[in-house]
A and B are shown apart, each in its own frame.
Chain A
Amino acid sequence: MSDAKDEGMIKITVEFSGGLEMLFSNERKLSLTIPAKDEDGTRSNIAFLVRHLCDTVMKDPRKELFVLDDTVRPGILVLINDADWELEGEDKYEIEDGDNILFVSTLHGG
């Protein structure tokens, strides 16, 4: 009812590695369906995805290990379709259907 249009949602793959998966119930790979547009009606970007992950996916209460000052915590790399997010506009990158977003922690040891 609310979203009648079929382009209302997009399907993406989100992956966690380098120890970050421990914050996401040890899930390394998620298939997510997210709204194509955010609350303000603009195309959903990485910033939106990160909020979405925090609010609805992440069960671990230690949000600060993933997000700090409203962005991905320094020391966590973000790869968009295998490319460094810095090459793609960082958290302003507008997500497309079928995208693969990988979050890798460099902060964990072995």
Chain B
Amino acid sequence: MAPSLCAQCKTSRALILRPKDHTKLCRACFLTTFETEIHHTITSTALFTRGERIAIGASGGKDSTVLASVMKTLNERYDYGLDLILLSIDEGIKGYRDDSLETVKRNAEQYGMELCILGYDELYGWTMDQVVEQVGKRGNCTYCGVFRRQALDRGAARLGVKHVVTGHNADDVAETVLMNLLRGDLPRLSRTTSIVTSTPSLTADPAANTNIKRSKPLKYAYEKEIVLYAHHKNLDYFSTECIYSPEAFRGSARALIKNLERVRPSAILDVVRSGEDMAKLVPGSDEGCGGVCASSVPAGEEEEGGCGSAQGRSSGGEMATMEQALSSNDHAADNGLEIEITTSKIAKTAAPLPLTVGKSRKVPKAPHASRTQPKKQVMGQCKKCGYLSSQDICKACVLLEGLNKNRPKNHIEVGYEPDKEVSGVADAVKDIHVGAG
């Protein structure tokens, strides 16, 4: 097959076939085109303001590495006047982040950016390893997922940064659109298609976690092109199999997207655009009211899947395998949160109750959240931490409350207060009824 020439410069050999329009480009033209399109996304949405301090949510993975590299390039090329820093979250899982944090540290040097690594212990008072020790392996994914969703916002608040950018790409958005479509959840769909999923400032308190703006400059960038960009630009990134599995539903949506892309590459952007158009039809959508109306969902509440998802994704088959591996020791790997809390309480006093009957896979809900309808959420702030929440107390704070109540381990309180233990079990059982109903 004769090599084809680049459609743009018409001199170099074409190496890239663009999924969105089948243009054939050489390496240099591809890199420039990719960057220019991100620039257009940024300027057409007026994403940044001059002098703004921006935290780039960095995991060392391909998406955030490409985001950091492109942000640096554009900030210099077009003189955005942005102050860019890298913000990484360490869940505190021994060994898990070692390699990816090393990658982020190298990136910080390569890009000449300040790097801040915040641990779950600093943000929540608990590392994931400690959580696992407390609740067992089974429930930890719920904790990690809920904590992760707020971690960047909490971290940014710590640093006094008001705007966090994440590496979510077109494939991620398309996947989320499909998931919400399949769930019939248009309000949430409308929220997640927006490029800025900012948590609106309900208070004037600048320290509140709720005042952080979140955006995704790579929203229209194909994952395929992100990987090709990293490859052709020789970027240093880290890949891993997610050690905790996102929900199977997300994996299926993912596989569907990738299969569609094989047959019809434009499908990914088409789904993103359809999502945006549908969002406009949703009453009280972000498009109409700037994101402060009742249908809003807090930034991170939905767009990132289970544990490790946004930056750490694996395919359906892998997830199944991972799941099996993870649950080999314990048979009820995917129960909701309610049950997890219960088993952890009970584990100390009695044999585990057969609580798993009839529990179907669904998005885990905090006990307090399960009583309300998901469709008509009224956004307020968590009374404890100030994070935007549809409940009085946000999911993270509910989980933390449970953890802190049971913090014992060091205190050897088991057996000293049998009454308390018993009532704990009773409470937990009550919660199960609520949760399953």
B-contacting residues of A (Cβ < 8 Å)? 17-19, 22, 62, 64-65, 73-75, 77, 79, 82-84, 86-89, 93, 102, 104-110
User: Cβ of B311 < 8 Å from any Cβ of A?
Assistant: yes
Within 8 A of A (CB), among B340-376: none
Question: A22-B241, A107-B254, A107-B314 given. 5 additional CB < 8 A pairs?
Answer: A19-B240, A62-B317, A74-B255, A82-B15, A104-B227
Nearest Cβ on chain B to A58's Cβ, whole angstroms? 14
The CA-CA distance from A64 to B255 in the complex, in Å, is: 12
Contact between B4 and A108 (Cβ–Cβ < 8 Å)?
A: no
Contact between B17 and A79 (Cβ–Cβ < 8 Å)?
A: no
Contact between A109 and B240 (Cβ–Cβ < 8 Å)?
A: yes
Cross-chain contact of B314 among A74, A93, A109 (Cβ < 8 A): A109
Nearest Cβ on chain B to A83's Cβ, whole angstroms? 5
Residue of A nearest to B239 (CB): A19
With A75-B258, A77-B224, A109-B61 already in contact, the answer to whether A87 and B4 are too (CB < 8 A) is: yes
Nearest Cβ on chain A to B298's Cβ, whole angstroms? 22
User: Cβ of B277 < 8 Å from any Cβ of A?
Assistant: no
Within 8 A of A (CB), among B213-241: 223-224, 226-228, 231-232, 237-241
User: Cβ of B415 < 8 Å from any Cβ of A?
Assistant: no
Contact between A77 and B15 (Cβ–Cβ < 8 Å)?
A: no
With A83-B15, A87-B15 already in contact, the answer to whether A108 and B317 are too (CB < 8 A) is: no
Complex A-B: 28 CB contacts under 8 Å: A17-B231, A18-B227, A62-B321, A64-B317, A79-B15, A79-B231, A82-B232, A83-B3, A83-B15, A86-B17, A87-B1, A87-B24, A88-B1, A106-B224, A107-B258, A107-B313, A108-B314, A109-B59, A109-B240, A109-B309, A109-B310, A110-B60, A110-B61, A110-B62, A110-B63, A110-B65, A110-B239, A110-B311
Residue of A nearest to B104 (CB): A110
Cross-chain contact of A109 among B15, B239, B258 (Cβ < 8 A): B239
Contact between A18 and B314 (Cβ–Cβ < 8 Å)?
A: no
Ranked 4 nearest A-B pairs via Cβ? A110-B61, A109-B312, A19-B239, A74-B258
Contact between B262 and A74 (Cβ–Cβ < 8 Å)?
A: yes
User: Cβ of B16 < 8 Å from any Cβ of A?
Assistant: yes
User: Cβ of B273 < 8 Å from any Cβ of A?
Assistant: no
Residue of B nearest to A65 (CB): B317
User: Cβ of B69 < 8 Å from any Cβ of A?
Assistant: no
Note all chain A residues with C-beta closer than 8 A to B231.
Answer: 17, 79, 102, 104
Cross-chain contact of B59 among A73, A79, A110 (Cβ < 8 A): A110
Nearest Cβ on chain B to A57's Cβ, whole angstroms? 19
Note all chain B residues with C-beta closer than 8 A to A82.
Answer: 15, 27, 232
Note all chain A residues with C-beta closer than 8 A to B311.
Answer: 109-110
Cross-chain contact of B241 among A74, A88, A89, A108 (Cβ < 8 A): A108
Contact between B261 and A74 (Cβ–Cβ < 8 Å)?
A: yes
Note all chain B residues with C-beta closer than 8 A to A107.
Answer: 254, 258, 313-315, 318
Contact between B17 and A18 (Cβ–Cβ < 8 Å)?
A: no
User: Cβ of B194 < 8 Å from any Cβ of A?
Assistant: no
With A109-B61, A110-B59 already in contact, the answer to whether A84 and B100 are too (CB < 8 A) is: no
Nearest Cβ on chain A to B390's Cβ, whole angstroms? 28
The CA-CA distance from A74 to B19 in the complex, in Å, is: 13
Contact between A84 and B15 (Cβ–Cβ < 8 Å)?
A: yes
Q: Per-position contact with A for B53-86: 1 when CB-CB < 8 Å, else 0?
A: 0000001111111000000000000000000000
User: Cβ of B14 < 8 Å from any Cβ of A?
Assistant: yes
Contact between B259 and A105 (Cβ–Cβ < 8 Å)?
A: no
Note all chain B residues with C-beta closer than 8 A to A108.
Answer: 239-241, 313-314
Cross-chain contact of A110 among B13, B14, B100 (Cβ < 8 A): B100
Note all chain B residues with C-beta closer than 8 A to A19.
Answer: 239-241
With A89-B1, A110-B311 already in contact, the answer to whether A65 and B259 are too (CB < 8 A) is: no
Within 8 A of A (CB), among B1-19: 1, 3-4, 13-17
Contact between A110 and B237 (Cβ–Cβ < 8 Å)?
A: yes
Residue of B nearest to A83 (CB): B15
Contact between B1 and A109 (Cβ–Cβ < 8 Å)?
A: no
The CA-CA distance from A102 to B231 in the complex, in Å, is: 11
The CA-CA distance from A105 to B3 in the complex, in Å, is: 24
The CA-CA distance from A37 to B225 in the complex, in Å, is: 33
User: Cβ of B398 < 8 Å from any Cβ of A?
Assistant: no
Residue of A nearest to B308 (CB): A109
Note all chain B residues with C-beta closer than 8 A to A17.
Answer: 231, 239
